[in-house]
Every structure is written in C-alpha cells, then in structure tokens.
A and B are shown apart, each in its own frame.
Chain A
Amino acid sequence: MEYDVCIVGSGAGAGPIIFELSKAGYKVLVLEKGPWLKTEDFSKDEMTATRRDAYTPRLADECHVIEKKDDGGRWSKESTAESGKSLWNGNCVGGSSNFMSAYFHRLKPKDFKLFTEYGEIEGANMVDWPISYDELEPFYTKVEEVIGVSGKVVPHKHLEPRSTPDFPYPPLATHMVSEWYIEGGKKEGFNVIPVARGIISQPKDDRKACYLSNYCGSFGCSSDAKGSSRAALINKALLTNNCEIRPNSKVFQLESNSEGIVTNVWYYNEKNEKQQVSAKIVVVAAQAIETSRLLLMSKSEKFPNGLANNSGNVGKNLIFAGGGAGSGYIDYADIQEPELSKFKSPATFVNQSLLDFYEIEDPTFNGKAKGGTIDFLIEHSAPMPKARTAKMDGERILYGSELKTSLHNYFTKQKKLRFEIFCDWLPNDDCHVTLDDQVKDKWGDPVGKIKLGFHDQNIKVGNYLANKAIKVMQNIGAKKITYSITGNPPTNLMAGGCRFGNDPAISVLDKNCKAHEVANLYITDGSFMPTGGSVPHTFTIYANSFRVAEKIMAHLQNMQP
C-alpha cells in the first residue's frame, strides 16, 4: 500500500502533520524508532525518568560522537558511550514532547529578521527567515487552542502582535514566590510577567487538567494536561482511522531515484529486520541531529553527499538555546509565620519571566543587540539532584554524620530558587552534524558526529542577562547566589541543520520546509530554523508544523490525478 504521507518521528515537529492530514482524510504512516509508551506507562518515578535510560536509547547501542574544543583550544572528539553525555531526549511515541517543561514563548517579529535588524556578526552565519512573524502568527494561535496553552497576556515592551486577546486557558496555580519575583523586579524597574505553558489548566476533550504534580519537566504527564504530541495530537489522529503508528521502527535510509524523488523509506523493525514502505510525500521530524544524520546517510547517485545535500548545507548551522542558569537560596529562618507555612509548600510552578532585555540597548554592545529571556523558577521537586548538591562541600565529598546533617539542612531549612537564561545560539561554521567515520550504531550505521562550537556573543549576552536576573534574586532575599553561563549547549533544545531559505545555495529547505532538491521531502522538526530565537523552540516547532501541514495538503491536492 502506498501511503499519502510517511512521517519519520512523532514528536512536536511530526504531531501537527499527523493530526491535520489524518483529519483531512489522507492516509498517514508514522515510523517512530522508540516504543509506544501510553499515559499509564508514566509515573513520577525518578528511577525511570532520570536515573536510568528508560526513555532514551542505551548509549552502548546508539551513541553520538561529540567534538569539542578542550581548554587548550584543540578540538578533540569523544563518543557519548564513553562520556555518558547523551544527546537523546525522548525515544518513544510523542518524542521528547512527552518530557518537556512546556515553557511556551512565541518568537518576536524581530526574531524573523535578525540580519536586517542587527546586521552582520563576525563569525556568525546570520540570515533572515524567509517568512515573517505575521505568516506564523495564525499558527501560534492554533497551537494555543489545539495543544492547549495556559497563561495570561499582559502588556510589555516586547509583546508580539496577537490575533486573540489572551490564551485559551487561564494561568496554572503558582507558588507564592511568583509574587516575590514580580516585586523583586519592580525594585529595579523591571517588568516581570507571566509565562505561558503548553499545559492545560482546564479539561479539554479526553485530557484532564493539570493536577500540579510538581514533577513536570523530564517526567511524562499522567493527566495528559501537558501538550505532548502524543496526548494532544496523535491520540486524536488515531480516532480518524487514517493514521497508523509503527513504533520500534528505526528509519535508516530514504531511497531516492534519478529524478530526486524519495521512492522508499527503509527502516529496521523491532526484530531488526530491514523493511521498506513508500508514500507520496515523506516528512522527516526526527529532531535536529538525527534528521540531518538520516539525510546524510541517504546517499544515491543523484545525491552522493546525502539526500538534498548537493548544496552541501545539510547538517550545517546546528543551533541550541544559548545562555545558562543560576540559583540562590531562601532560608526558612528568614521568613515569619504564617508566610513560612505557605512558602514551604511543595508547589514548583512559578511561571514568571523577564523579557525587558529581549533587545539590549547598552553601550557595551555598541548600541543595540539581540538579548534574550529570563525565566524564574523553583528547584525541581525530584530529590536526587538536591541530594547530589548536599553531598558536596565545595570539592570535598561529605560522608557519615556530616553528610546526613548536610542533607537534612538542604531539604528542611531552605528552598532553592532558580533562573534560566535563553539567548540566541549564534549559528556558526563550528557547530554542525556530520557522519562519524569510525563509530557505528548497533545496526552498523555511522553515528552522527556533532561539532559543538559556540560564538562568544552567546556568553556575552548570557552574562548580561544573568546580571539582571541576579538583581531580582537579591531583591527577594536569595542568598548564596551563583550562576553559570557557558558554551555548553542544553542538549534538549536543539534546532537547525537543515535551514529554510529562499536561496538554494545556502539553505536546504524552501520557505514551505520542502527540500529544494527533492520534490517530495519535507522536514518539520526544529531543523528548519536558521536562528532559534531567545526562547525554548517547541512552541515555534509546533506552530511551523501546523503551517507546513497546510502546504503539504495543498501539495497532495495538486498531485491528485
């Protein structure tokens, strides 16, 4: 049987395509390399979610090779099977959207034209997007309704134009420290504002409202309130009977003919047998690194350097979220009753951010520069990271009674408050995906080699923002404030590698996310992004995928005999 569409992957980039095309009556096949975990498979079990590899491939079976500069400035490479530093994020139906924290910020209009707005930056491959904010706005609105976004729109100087006055779901309940952050900001003249979450605060269809488990990011959702691709889109697509999910199906090659059309999708099934399937249109959404890897592995006579890669752009300009994080502690001894009892609440949602510095106007940046986002948080509820911090005194490892005292103090006498900084990870020639020429996965295929070079501007902007965040932390009485802005990427926030653009010489995809060089190939995960904005990418990946779903349906209509 030939399907209308075969989609490789089932996360945030795939979900809208699956949902929209199934609803429209097209026959959709989804090949997902991981297992099909259902809502009942998820619990708030730290062992499963964070202490072991139960949601991601075992690195002995499937690893990556990371190439980084050492302290001496020399590039060296190491397999993640050796280092333990996994680049996998969620290997199951719904992908890593099952485990996201779902901080949903829209990009701002200027994010679509960084080159025009801020000019060239030496050592960075800055370009404008081939679409504008206005073209994506209706799809952000669609995500807010279909995925379900909760929050409250308030005026601020970087508020993007909206076609609706507010989010469809009211804000989630937050810890009292949320108000402290607002007041702490006011003392500096900062406008600390609510953050939207891709989590529903009221029931929607068969999804229940968020029940505030306090175990959100890194954990699967047990009420389906979190807007994962699986809970919000795939489960609905299945009701149409037009959608087939094949879990445990690892795609390893997209076979193409001499006309540059993908004719067969090859994959290993759960018995590791080679299988093939064909579809009129093939969509790849395997998360940035694996999407580029699959194209690079799919060589043919017409594409000797990998599918859609005669221009040599596949894998280039990989980006992450730049920035870092910081923290400080509030001692219970500094708070009086009855406030103290409220403060001790295990609630962890804060949902406040500072966007005043999304654009920086400062002489140290020669006038105007792109800034970023500060999100304010409380330490995650999971106890193991807390215990890990408590077992050290600087470089000294604690044990015995000293360890027990430290643990007890950490857990019962204070609360750790955090902030996270998001700035643009400037695309550059030293951050890309290629195929490693030595290391193979368990099927004998070359693994992705990821070069992780970063631009110094990331660090400069990150530090600028961190200093603003620290002022807020100081104003609310946080002690022992520390922060870290580094060139180490957050491995769960990756994009780029197959940027879209109008010029086929410098981009892989056209403005509709169809490969310039391949007539029936679309890429709908974060790979399309030439720049990532100064926010987590998921909201934009969802919105763009809804946009591209319309393009694919138009394409299919034109293909009808």
Chain B
Amino acid sequence: MKEEINRIKKKQIPDLYQNLTTWETNRRTFLRGALLTGALTQISLFTSCSAELEKGNDLLTSEQATILTNVIDVFFPDDGNGPSAKDINAFGYIMWVLHDSLGRSTEENDYILEGIQWADDTAQELYFKPFVELTDEEKKALIGIFTDLDWGKNWSSMIIFLILEALLLDPLYGGNINEVGWTWLNHTPGYPRPTEENRYERIMEKQLKLKA
C-alpha cells in the first residue's frame, strides 16, 4: 500500500488550483468562466430534488453521484452535533455550484470530477473494489489518506468549503435548509437578505452585461 500511496503523492495539482487560500479568502472565485447561457434556469431543480439528483444527473453518473454523496457524508456527518450534510442539502447545493456558468468554468468543475474519479481509482488500487462497495470504515480510511496528500488535501479543502457554503450562505441558494446552519451556530444573518430579484445571478448578469 505504501508504494501505491507514494505514487498517488506524485499526482499534480493543476496550477490553477494551487492557490486555494486565495479562492477561500478573497471575494473572488478562481478562474476563467466559459459562459454557458441558460444553465441557471434550472435553479429549482437543485434546491428541491436532491434525492433525484443523487441518482445521477447531467453532470454526474449515478456512481459519481454516490461517491460524492459518500465523501460529503464523511466530511460532514450525521453525528448528533448539529445538521448533517443531508440536512443542509450539501449535495444539491454543490450541484447548483457546478451548474453556475456565470462565475465558474468547466475547468473548475473538471477538478471536482477528477477528485471523484481519484477516489474510485484508489479504492480499486488499495482495496480491489469500487469505492461504492467499500465499507464505511474503508471509506473513512481512504478519505483519511486523501486529506494527507497535497493533491487530496487541496481537493478536500475545496469540497469542504463548498459544504460550509451550503451550511452558511442564504437558504435561497439551496443549502442551509430552514436556516438550520445559522440556528445551530447562533448566527444572526444581515438584513435585508437576498431576494429572487437581487440574488447573485441577477447581479452577475448585470456585471457581465447580459442584462442592463
């Protein structure tokens, strides 16, 4: 197994994702965005039908969706301390993020998909079976290895940060259902809160001159 882990350690982080701290701290997201108009009309899909999306959707196969669900369940478990990844609709929120063509690029999304693929490949190499067939303990062990590696740490950090967005941003974006994240952390939001008229996509459309 050591040899396998050493090989995995050599996996490179693309230049674009080296500076994760900047992505997290700045007001800016990374990256060049390829504008895919129309994708945002599907907002309601991500906020209301997480269970359906987890069966697979236009971006993830059912297997990839299951792996991502398993990973975020390990990162933000149902452990009796506050809401779980499911309670905050982390999966549905991440799907919304992946479909955001105004502020994200396909390249950025590819990175998330690469991590999912890595999890599956590594399960095969270390345990000789697909990720979805691992026991809960094996999944946790694999993710433990992952977060210890440069590449995996970077990828995990990005996924965890998206989970934290699902926990703490306005429920308008599909996470933080019934303000469960704010309630758990005694957080008082700022007012006025965003509305359908001034939510992120509407302002972004103005910034990108898609709408006057």
**Chain A residues with a Cβ under 8 A of chain B:** 34-35, 37, 40-60, 81-86, 91-92, 213-215, 218-219, 222, 248, 270, 346, 381-385, 387-388, 391, 397, 399-401, 403-405, 407-408, 411-412
Contacts and interface: CB of A to CB of B under 8 A. Distances in A.
Given A213-B190, A213-B191, A84 B198 contact: no
Contacts of A214: 188, 190
A35 B206 contact: yes
Contact of B200 (A42, A44, A54, A215): A54
Interface stretch (B37-45, B49-57, B74-82): B74-82
A401 B165 contact: no
Contact of B212 (A270, A399, A400): A270
Contacts of A412: 185-186
A412 B184 CA distance: 9
Contacts of A346: 188
A400 B194 contact: no
A441 to B, nearest CB: 12
Given A58-B103, A401-B79, 11 more contacts: A35-B212, A43-B193, A43-B198, A45-B169, A58-B207, A81-B31, A82-B15, A85-B22, A383-B187, A399-B156, A408-B185
Given A42-B198, A399-B156, A84 B203 contact: no
Nearest to A385: B25
Contact of A48 (B16, B75, B160, B203): B203
Nearest to B154: A397
A381 B170 CA distance: 14
Contact of B147 (A60, A86, A397): A397
A407 B181 CA distance: 11
Given A43-B198, A52-B200, A391 B161 contact: yes
Max count, chain A CB within 10 A of own CB: residue among B27, B31, B168: B27
B191 A44 contact: yes
B32 to A, nearest CB: 3
Nearest to B31: A60
Nearest to A213: B190
A92 B212 CA distance: 12
Contacts of A219: 190
A248 B124 CA distance: 53
What secondary structure prevails in chain A residues at the interface with B? loop
A84 B200 contact: no
A400 B77 contact: yes
Max count, chain B CB within 10 A of own CB: residue among A383, A387, A399: A399
Contacts of A35: 206-207, 209, 212
B136 to A, nearest CB: 12
Interface in B152-177: 153, 156-157, 160-161, 164-165, 167-170, 172-173
15 contacts: A37-B206, A44-B193, A45-B194, A47-B199, A52-B29, A57-B207, A58-B208, A59-B32, A83-B22, A86-B28, A382-B190, A384-B165, A387-B167, A405-B81, A412-B185
A60 B33 contact: yes
B114 interface: no
Contacts of B167: 387, 407
A399 B75 CA distance: 5
A346 B195 CA distance: 23
B206 A53 contact: no
Contacts of A91: 207
A71 B29 CA distance: 26
A389 to B, nearest CB: 10
Contacts of A44: 189-194
A316 B191 CA distance: 42
A54 B31 contact: no
Contact of B24 (A83, A388, A399): A388
Interface in B104-153: 105, 140, 143, 147, 153
A403 to B, nearest CB: 7
Contact of A400 (B33, B75, B199): B75
B26 interface: yes
Given A43-B194, A45-B170, A86 B19 contact: no
B23 A387 contact: no
A214 B24 CA distance: 21
A56 B27 contact: yes
A400 to B, nearest CB: 6
A535 to B, nearest CB: 23
Contacts of B27: 49-53, 55-56, 86, 218
B36 interface: no
A47 B156 CA distance: 21
A53 B192 contact: no
B75 A41 contact: no
B13 interface: no
Max count, chain A CB within 10 A of own CB: residue among B29, B105, B195, B198: B198
B191 A391 contact: no
A58 B33 contact: yes
A99 to B, nearest CB: 9
A404 B188 CA distance: 19
A86 B197 CA distance: 27
A403 B74 CA distance: 11
A60 B170 CA distance: 27
A57 B102 CA distance: 12
Contacts of B24: 388
A403 B203 contact: no
A226 B194 CA distance: 19
B204 interface: yes
Contacts of A82: 15-16
Contacts of B200: 45, 47-48, 52, 54
A149 to B, nearest CB: 23
Nearest to B73: A400
B198 A384 contact: no
A43 B193 CA distance: 5
A34 B207 CA distance: 6
Contacts of A43: 190, 192-195, 198
A84 B168 CA distance: 23
B207 A47 contact: no
A35 B203 CA distance: 9
A489 to B, nearest CB: 14
A85 B26 contact: yes
B50 to A, nearest CB: 19
Contacts of A40: 197-198
Contacts of B157: 391, 397
A46 B169 contact: yes
A92 B207 CA distance: 8
A91 B204 CA distance: 11
Contact of B28 (A34, A42, A56): A56
